[in-house]
Chains A and B, each alone.
Chain A
Amino acid sequence: MIFKLIPWGSLRLVAIVTITASIAISSTGLYMVSMYRTLTSSLMINDGDAVITSSTSKLPHTGLVRYATTRIANVEGIELVSPEVITPVVLNGEVVFLRGVNLSLFNKLADATLVGDMTRGDNEVLVGIRLSNYLRIHVGDSYVITAIPTGKEVKVFVSGVFRSNTSLDDEVVGDLRVVQELRGVSPDYVTLVRIRAGGLIDTLLHNITSRSELDIMPLKVISRFGGNRSDVELVDELLGRGIKISSNLLWTSLILVLTASSLAMYYSVLWSLSSLKPIINSLKFLGLSSRVLTSVLAVKSLTLGITAGVLGYLISYLTLNLIFNITAVRLLLHSVELVNDFKVLTSSALLPSTIILLTILVKSKAIAEG
């Protein structure tokens, strides 16, 4: 009953600012989490995998490492060793990643559902489902692909389309040797070496690195491979810079949104309290203590903050989902999928309510004085 003394309508302004702030926080947070997930998972297929990539390259996709598959494979406990070469190619007028793998390991590599057949010849490829939808590629189609590092052209036949629910769904998968040739590297060099060893991966990696007879660590970028070396290094530098600046942009936008929203909420509460002055004075005149008044305002604001936070998160999620469905949002040639994140929801709900509550508590003396 006592809560009805201060009508919800008088807090409408705080509600507008709080919902605005929550939507801004949620959409930036969800955006950031989704982008990071795409960036970090672009090389991962299975969560338990360890991926060895070049330590000196700005971007793992452009770096190269020398590998010793047989030596690693001999280490006890290792279930799978997969050397992979990634090369950008032009397919159907778009730049996509072509991943060369040992195709006999494909079934072990990813738990994929395949439509069509596994590749039989060197010039047959498998296409991920998202890429197939994006470029409208079907089983049985033939395309000429141009390898970006070497300029080599090769006609490929799409023998199958697969769905693996991993980053592979945005790529073309072909034979390791063919892709190494297109990338312009000798058979000793790959973009990454994937190691799968169940839950023992940390221990095994420690064992591998501590055994002096194995020379796979430290990893290094080779100095001689096909193509113009200085161009590749510059491209690596430029791409790495672009990705780093983008990640910086995401962090900056998050900090900016948090700061501006917090201050806006603080001032909106002050604005509302000024508008509430006549009501507060009347209630005090009728005998309501300042403590009760502050408590009523605090409870109402807290309810408002949490409701606005959850509502803001839902609106942001639905809006971003719509945008992501309409536009093909891609990062590093991989589709960005919107992630539903509990931490973002918590921040969106708790931050506004905490700021509003703190402002009311700070201003409780002013409320008491009317």
Chain B
Amino acid sequence: MVGLLKLALGDVKILISEVFTISLIASLVVGATALTNVVRGYVVGDVFGLWNYLLVSVYKELRLITYLWSIPIWVLVLISMYLMSNYLSHDLIPTYVKLVYVGASKRFVITLLLLRYFVIAFLSWLIGLSLGLTASQVMFRFTAYVLRTPYEVPYLGLSDVVELAVITNLLILLGGIPTLTKLVRCRY
């Protein structure tokens, strides 16, 4: 099993570069979600009579502003993650082709490729999540200290964590489809 994993993952240095590039891009969207949640968490109770209209209006505006900022970041991250995952097996295709040439079954090679994609997707999600959340909290604390503004904790709900896991894994696997197709069509 360890041998199979080593074969699937290839050079550790390249793997680290790949995982960190994708993780850091994923951390952008993690941070954006965590920061958006700060404003989403505000609930204005009906305690100020007519003033409530003003409070609700302004907080709705603030929520919309944070959402609108996070939308382009989401779209951008999704597209670039898909494109990056296209390159994940770029360096390993010659190795995979050689394996097929020396007699390995296509099924074995596809298993190796899928294993590689799963490992990279999982690590990217985990590292991206940790980095994005930690960075947004540390930076929010830092700016609150510098600007002398109130501190709120940027957070992620369980649904955000699951959503990010599904999206990261799905996009990275989708990005691998061109490589898989090439391998399936290989005539060796």
The answer to whether A256 and B53 touch across the interface, beta carbons within 8 angstroms, is no
Q: Are A330 and B28 also in contact (CB < 8 A) when A245-B152, A252-B35 are?
A: no
CB of B64 to closest CB in A, whole Å: 7
Dominant secondary structure of chain A at its interface with chain B: helix
Distance A274 CA – B91 CA, assembled complex (angstroms):
9
Dominant secondary structure of chain B at its interface with chain A: helix
The answer to whether A13 and B87 touch across the interface, beta carbons within 8 angstroms, is yes
Distance A331 CA – B66 CA, assembled complex (angstroms):
11
Q: Contact check: which of A28, A231, A255, A323 meets B71 at CB < 8 Å?
A: A323
Judged by a CB distance under 8 angstroms, whether A261 is at the interface is yes
Instruction: Note all chain A residues with C-beta closer than 8 A to B62.
Output: 242-243, 246, 331
The answer to whether A263 and B24 touch across the interface, beta carbons within 8 angstroms, is yes
Distance A86 CA – B97 CA, assembled complex (angstroms):
73
Q: Which among A238, A239, A331 has the highest number of chain B CB atoms within 10 Å?
A: A238
Mask, B127-153, CB within 8 Å of A = 1, is 000011001100110111001011010
CB of B139 to closest CB in A, whole Å: 5
Contacting chain B: which of A16-24, A111-119, A347-355? A16-24
For chain B, the bracket of interface size reads 35 or more
Mask, A213-249, CB within 8 Å of B = 1, is 0000000000000001001101100110111111111
The answer to whether A256 and B90 touch across the interface, beta carbons within 8 angstroms, is no
Q: Are A267 and B24 also in contact (CB < 8 A) when A253-B32, A329-B68 are?
A: yes
Contacting chain A: which of B43-51, B107-115, B158-166, B178-186? B43-51
Q: Contact check: which of A238, A268, A320 meets B55 at CB < 8 Å?
A: A238
Instruction: Note all chain B residues with C-beta closer than 8 A to A235.
Output: 48, 51, 54-55
Judged by a CB distance under 8 angstroms, whether A191 is at the interface is no
Q: Are A333 and B57 also in contact (CB < 8 A) when A13-B84, A20-B76, A323-B71 are?
A: yes
Q: Contact check: which of A243, A248, A270 meets B140 at CB < 8 Å?
A: A248
Judged by a CB distance under 8 angstroms, whether A257 is at the interface is yes
The answer to whether B76 and A88 touch across the interface, beta carbons within 8 angstroms, is no
CB of A23 to closest CB in B, whole Å: 5
CB of B78 to closest CB in A, whole Å: 10
The answer to whether B65 and A246 touch across the interface, beta carbons within 8 angstroms, is yes
Contacting chain A: which of B1-9, B14-22, B98-106? B14-22
For chain A, the bracket of interface size reads 35 or more
- CB contacts under 8 Å to B, within A85-120, are 88, 90, 94-95
The answer to whether B57 and A20 touch across the interface, beta carbons within 8 angstroms, is no
The answer to whether B28 and A331 touch across the interface, beta carbons within 8 angstroms, is no
Distance A264 CA – B131 CA, assembled complex (angstroms):
12
Q: Contact check: which of A13, A242, A316, A320 meets B59 at CB < 8 Å?
A: A242
Interface of B toward A, CB cutoff 8 Å? 11, 13-14, 17-18, 20-21, 24-25, 27-28, 31-32, 35, 38-39, 42, 44, 48-51, 53-55, 57-59, 61-62, 64-66, 68-69, 71-73, 76-77, 79-80, 83-84, 87, 90-91, 131-132, 135-136, 139-140, 142-144, 147, 149-150, 152, 154
Q: A252-B35, A255-B143 are in contact. List 14 more A-B contacts (CB 8 A).
A: A90-B50, A146-B50, A148-B53, A243-B62, A244-B150, A248-B144, A249-B39, A249-B140, A256-B35, A257-B28, A267-B17, A270-B17, A320-B72, A329-B64
A/B interface sample: 8 pairs, CB < 8 A? A13-B84, A16-B83, A245-B39, A246-B39, A252-B35, A256-B136, A323-B68, A323-B72
